[in-house]
């Protein structure tokens, strides 16, 4: 059943991705043997028929908190050696970029859509399925003519409570102080390869022969890479095809990878079945070294610092306004004091003038009194002399 295949093949990889490791689930096999059904079936009418893509995203959404974590998807197809975006069909021939330091592969032109819920997931997968190239062949009524790759980007936040040495992307180690926001970044690739086919059996003609040629070429390049890795060869021909470049991390890289091989039950496809099983056997010999990608969440750190700066700026502006208000109040009080002092000075000067006038008036009155007094004294003296003269005359007469 689809459920059994998911639990055995894909669930361990998904759980590993939730822990912060990269992962890949890939379906490989002859055309018409059920790869797209196993991986990409939407199960709109019967949920039990849901494929690995829907079940993996359902598992991821149920295990994460979208308040602190984020899930985003890109859905691509490799058609005629051209990387095309299934969610934005106008984007064709998307470049594949490899980080020279880490070797990590990225597709900078691809649309990345953040997931909200399972219904949103089904809508996006339906859009991708509608835009994917398929054709009717003798082997399959809806034969995939391109390799489909669903890339699920996970970002989970966590905090360290004490000083911890963590690996920064520049491959240098730094001791970081406590309470720095850390994120686990991981990526899950779910790959539905187009089936290898023989032209005489599939009945392909015209443009479909060209499609089959590119499909077989990329699958052949993948087989060569698997052989080289299984034999520990010094040279791995990953650059022979865009498919092998995109899956560089899945085989011999740092991702935990599960491979589903599909075969047909008919005896007439014995050689294809045999080569598919041999491919699976060789792939089992490939050893991947999984690596946790833990790094400082500079975006959250930047936001926190920005918020702190905003808070300090607003506090500084508040303090400045407070100081300005206090300054205005002090200036107002100073002006009032100066006005009061000026008024007091004016009142004092008027009072002084009045006092001066009174003083002059008093002095003048004193002078007049002194003059009158002197005049009275002079008259008194004259009278005294007259009295003395009269007394003398009287005495003489007596």
For residues 90 and 103, what is the distance between their CA atoms, to the nearest angstrom?
28
Residue with tokens 């991705």: 17
Tell me whether residue 159 is annotated as binding.
no
Contact assessment for residue 38 and residue 27, using Cβ atoms and an 8 Å cutoff = yes
> Which has the closest alpha carbon to 254: 366, 341, 339, 167?
167
Tell me whether residue 195 is annotated as binding.
no
Tell me whether residue 178 is annotated as binding.
no
Tell me whether residue 165 is annotated as binding.
no
Tell me whether residue 36 is annotated as binding.
yes
Cα-flanking dihedrals φ and ψ of residue 305, to 5°?
A: -65, -40
Decide: helix, strand or coil at residue 240.
helix
Tell me whether residue 2 is annotated as binding.
no
For residues 287 and 22, what is the distance between their CA atoms, to the nearest angstrom?
14
Tell me whether residue 398 is annotated as binding.
no
> Which has the closest alpha carbon to 32: 258, 282, 281, 272?
272
> Which has the closest alpha carbon to 225: 40, 23, 28?
28
Tell me whether residue 33 is annotated as binding.
yes
Distances (CA, A) of 89 to 22, 24, 95, 113: 27, 24, 15, 14
Contact assessment for residue 259 and residue 281, using Cβ atoms and an 8 Å cutoff = no
Burial of 38 (0-12, 13-18, 19+ CB in 10 A): buried
Q: Which residues are annotated as a binding site?
A: 29-36
Q: Which residues are annotated as a binding site for ATP?
A: 29-36
């Amino acid at each position: 059943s689809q459920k059994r295949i998911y639990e055995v093949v894909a669930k361990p990889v998904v759980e590993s991705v939730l822990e912060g490791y990269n992962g890949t689930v890939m379906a490989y096999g002859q055309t018409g043997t059920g790869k797209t059904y196993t991986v990409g079936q939407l199960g709109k009418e019967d949920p039990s028929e849901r494929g690995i893509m829907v079940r993996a995203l359902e598992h991821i959404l149920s295990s994460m908190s979208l308040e602190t974590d984020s899930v985003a998807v890109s859905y691509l197809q490799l058609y005629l050696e051209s990387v095309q975006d299934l969610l934005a069909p106008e984007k064709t021939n998307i470049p594949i970029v490899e980080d020279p330091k880490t070797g990590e592969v990225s597709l900078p032109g691809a649309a990345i859509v953040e997931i909200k819920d399972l219904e949103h997931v089904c809508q996006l997968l339906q859009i991708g399925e509608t835009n994917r190239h398929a054709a009717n062949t003798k082997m399959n009524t809806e034969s995939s003519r391109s390799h489909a790759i669903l890339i699920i980007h996970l970002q989970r936040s966590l905090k360290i409570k004490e000083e911890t040495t963590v690996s920064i992307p520049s491959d240098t180690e730094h001791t970081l102080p406590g309470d720095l926001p850390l994120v686990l970044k991981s990526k899950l690739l779910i790959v539905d390869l187009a089936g290898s086919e023989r032209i005489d059996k599939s009945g392909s003609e015209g443009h479909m022969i060209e499609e089959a040629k590119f499909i077989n070429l990329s699958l052949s390049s993948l087989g060569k890479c698997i052989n080289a890795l299984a034999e520990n060869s010094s040279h791995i021909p990953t650059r022979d095809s865009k498919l092998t470049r995109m899956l560089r991390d899945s085989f011999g890289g740092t991702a935990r990878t599960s491979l589903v091989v599909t075969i047909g039950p008919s005896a007439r496809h014995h050689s294809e079945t045999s080569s598919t099983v041999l491919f699976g056997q060789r792939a089992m010999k490939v050893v991947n070294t999984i690596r946790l990608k833990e790094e400082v969440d500079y975006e959250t750190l930047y936001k926190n610092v920005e918020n702190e700066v905003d808070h300090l700026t607003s506090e500084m502006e508040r303090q400045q306004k407070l100081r300005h208000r206090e300054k205005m109040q002090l200036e107002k009080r100073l002006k009032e004091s100066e006005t009061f002092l000026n008024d007091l000075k004016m009142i004092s000067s008027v009072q002084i003038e009045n006092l001066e006038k009174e003083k002059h008036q008093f002095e003048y009155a004193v002078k007049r009194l002194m003059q009158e007094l002197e005049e009275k004294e002079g008259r008194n003296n004259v009278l005294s002399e007259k009295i003395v003269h009269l007394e003398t005359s009287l005495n003489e007469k007596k």
